[in-house]
Chains A and B, each alone.
Chain A
Amino acid sequence: MDTVSLAMVAMCCFAVLTAFAALFTKDTFYSALYMSATLVTIAGMFALNNVQPVFVLITFIFVGAIGAVTVALAAMYRDTRPKIQIDFVWFLPAIITFGAIFNAIFGLKNVPSAFSGSEVSAFVENYAVFALFFFTLAILLMLAVVKFVRREEV
């Protein structure tokens, strides 16, 4: 097994472990921090496989903006009561769904994989309207959120 594959295995294990930590920790603040660690590790996996644009997108937009706000919210509304109270009614559909997912994934065990880098310039050339649309969408969403919170303050 080469170095990249070994690093990938280590990062996958770390991502699952931090996700478990986010689930089992009693403090919501630490839960948010572990969640951020999971997301940064997921972004790191993209960087490891030479897909840096997605690493930048996830790290800057998702972890940098949404994750930071979540950590701030968790710090503000800190709660340390034990929270693992699973409603068992949801267990059967969950088991069926995840059984189907793992069954589908198992069929891909021997699929060969070789990552090729993604070109941002090709994306901007081919999907200029798409990129412009998302830029506009982001601005409109932010305006809507600010208006929504301000209206409630009055």
Chain B
Amino acid sequence: MMVYLSLVTSAAILLIGYVMAMSSKELVRLLISLELMFGAVFLALMPLFTIPDLTTSAFSIAVLTVFTSGGELMILIAAMVTFSKKFRSMSTDDIVAGGDSP
């Protein structure tokens, strides 16, 4: 029951984060949606802790997930601050990539 509940909640939060990312027109909101999705991923790890032989491995996976997602978000925050300084905007419409014209 606990495993089922945590996974359903995880999927629901992932869906909410996904909808938020799709609808965001601003970088801060996009960052918030990413953090929500990472939160859903943390919650999806919970069933691993129900298997006694896997608790140490599960903890190492949790450390891996928290550190990598934290690092990724830190880089994203730095990029957002730089973007804001350069373009005086936080709108996703102002972001160009590759061969896009500004």
Q: How far is the CA of A46 from the CA of B75 in the complex (A)?
A: 27
Instruction: Report B-chain residues with C-beta under 8 Å of the C-beta of A65.
Output: 70
Q: How far is the CA of A31 from the CA of B78 in the complex (A)?
A: 20
Known: A16-B9, A62-B66, A145-B78. A49 touches B39 (CB 8 A): no
Smallest CB gap from B6: residue in A = A45
Report the interface size class on chain A: 35 or more
Could you tell me if B80 and A73 are in contact, using CB atoms closer than 8 angstroms? yes
Neighbour of B3 across the interface among A67, A111, A116, A141, CB < 8 A: A111
Could you tell me if A70 and B62 are in contact, using CB atoms closer than 8 angstroms? no
B-side interface residues, number (CB < 8 Å) = 67
Interface of chain A, helix or strand or loop or mixed? helix
Q: How far is the CA of A97 from the CA of B66 in the complex (A)?
A: 24
Interface string of B53-67 (1 = CB under 8 A from A): 001101110111011
Smallest CB gap from B51: residue in A = A116
Residue among B9, B15, B55 with the most chain A CB within 10 A?
A: B9
Smallest CB gap from B83: residue in A = A152
Could you tell me if B3 and A22 are in contact, using CB atoms closer than 8 angstroms? no
Could you tell me if B66 and A28 are in contact, using CB atoms closer than 8 angstroms? no
Could you tell me if A22 and B82 are in contact, using CB atoms closer than 8 angstroms? no
Q: How far is the CA of A49 from the CA of B8 in the complex (A)?
A: 17
Q: How far is the CA of A141 from the CA of B31 in the complex (A)?
A: 18
Could you tell me if A19 and B78 are in contact, using CB atoms closer than 8 angstroms? no
Instruction: A35-B39, A145-B78 given; name 6 further pairs at CB < 8 Å.
Output: A62-B38, A67-B35, A105-B7, A116-B49, A116-B50, A116-B52
